[in-house]
Amino acid sequence: MSRAMTRPMTPGIPPAPWQTGLPPVLAPTTRLVVLGSFPGVASLQAQQYYAHPRNQFWPLLGALWGLDMAALPYAQRLQVAQERGLGLWDIYARCRRQGSLDQAIEDADLNDLPALLRLAPGLQAVAHNGAESARARRQLSALGLAVHRLPSTSPAHASWSFARKCEAWRLVLAQHGLV
């Protein structure tokens, strides 16, 4: 794993314990992968992407696809996403962090991002879910993929309305045939 350019650990404060992220949700037919930064506490505890009840990821997809994604069991949400050509992963494989905020990520290791092309040979593009994920734009552009930066679905990113986020996400998903 390559070391990411994240904030260094704070001198004099013991480092947070290492946390390991979730495995990728990809298929050979994945056309667009949404890359988050690193799962929050609720997601790590549940071992599910976007598990925090106030995260807008699943409701946003539901609004775009005309389904109540948040009401579906997690395995079924993943199945629907994969059937539509959407994959999920994070840019960081592991890091040290207290809490769930991206600003608290320290000493992070990047996931094997070039593996995206092996795991999803039909991949056309990457969509970063938020600013921290978008820090890996350069590495992903080098793979020859289209790269998009989308507004974060995190409850911490409340400056955009749900409708405004939906429109930004709809434009990118439509560009790759997912809506």
pLDDT value, residue 138: 86
The CATH number for 25-175, chosen from 3.40.470.10, 3.30.70.260, 3.90.1150.10, 3.40.190.10, is 3.40.470.10
pLDDT value, residue 1: 46
Question: Does 99 score more than 80 pLDDT?
Answer: yes
* Residue 166 near residue 59, CB atoms below 8 Å: no
pLDDT value, residue 139: 86
Dump pLDDT digits (tens) for 25-79. 999 999 999 999 999 999 999 999 999 999 999 999 999 999 999 999 999 999 9
- As a whole number, the mean pLDDT across the chain is 92
pLDDT value, residue 151: 96
Question: Does 95 score more than 80 pLDDT?
Answer: yes
Domain ranges of the chain: 25-175
pLDDT value, residue 49: 98
* Residue 17 near residue 70, CB atoms below 8 Å: no
Looking at this protein, which amino acid is placed at residue 112?
D
Question: Does 104 score more than 60 pLDDT?
Answer: yes
pLDDT value, residue 70: 95
Q: Which of 4-8, 60-64, 77-81, 169-173 has the lowest mean pLDDT?
A: 4-8
Burial track 146-156 (b if 16+ CB lie within 10 A, e otherwise): ebbbbbbbbee
Active site residues: 55
Closest C-alpha among 92, 56, 74, 83 to residue 168: 56
pLDDT band for 157, please (50, 70, 90 cuts).
Answer: confident
User: Could you tell me the CA-to-CA distances from 34 to 7, 46, 86, 96, 143 in Å, in that order?
Assistant: 23, 19, 7, 22, 15
Closest C-alpha among 130, 91, 87 to residue 1: 91
pLDDT value, residue 5: 47
* Exposed / middle / buried, residue 57 (Cβ in 10 Å: 0-12, 13-18, 19+): buried
